[in-house]
Amino acid sequence: MNRLFLIGSVVAAVVLASPAHAEHERHCDVPMSDWQPRDALIAQVESLGWKVLRVRTDDGCYLVYGQNERGEKVVGKFDPATLKIIRMIVDYDD
């Protein structure tokens, strides 16, 4: 029983410390005074061919909900200072 608990603890520690998990939970630590305006973000995203449906903030980052040029739902997490994409999820239609 103690061996099983030890193995489980080690596996949990490795998973929680993995770089993929850390990137998944990335927060933006940018002072509001350094944020780019929403209009600049929307213009950038639209230049990529997205139709912007909603923009909000999450974990100190911009979160954009929209559709790409193929009509697939996309969600992008952007750094508010640089407007670089941090994470993107695409809901591919079959």
At 17, is the pLDDT very low, low, confident or very high (cuts 50, 70, 90)? very low
Q: Is the pLDDT of residue 75 over 50?
A: yes
Return the bridge partners of 56, or none.
63
**Which tokens sit at 8?**
């489980």
Confidence at residue 94, expressed as pLDDT on a 0 to 100 scale? 59
Q: Is the pLDDT of residue 51 over 50?
A: yes
In the numeric block, the tokens 């993929």 are attached to 20
Residue 46 CA, chain-centre distance (Å), reads 18
Taking the CB of residue 54, how many other CB atoms lie within 10 A of it?
9
- pTM comes to 0.70
What does the mean pLDDT of the chain come to?
Answer: 81
- Report domain extents, the chain: 28-91
* Average of per-residue pLDDT across 3-13: 43
Backbone angles phi, psi at 13, to 5 degrees: -65, -40
Q: Is the pLDDT of residue 21 over 60?
A: no
Does domain 28-91 fall into CATH 3.10.450?
A: yes
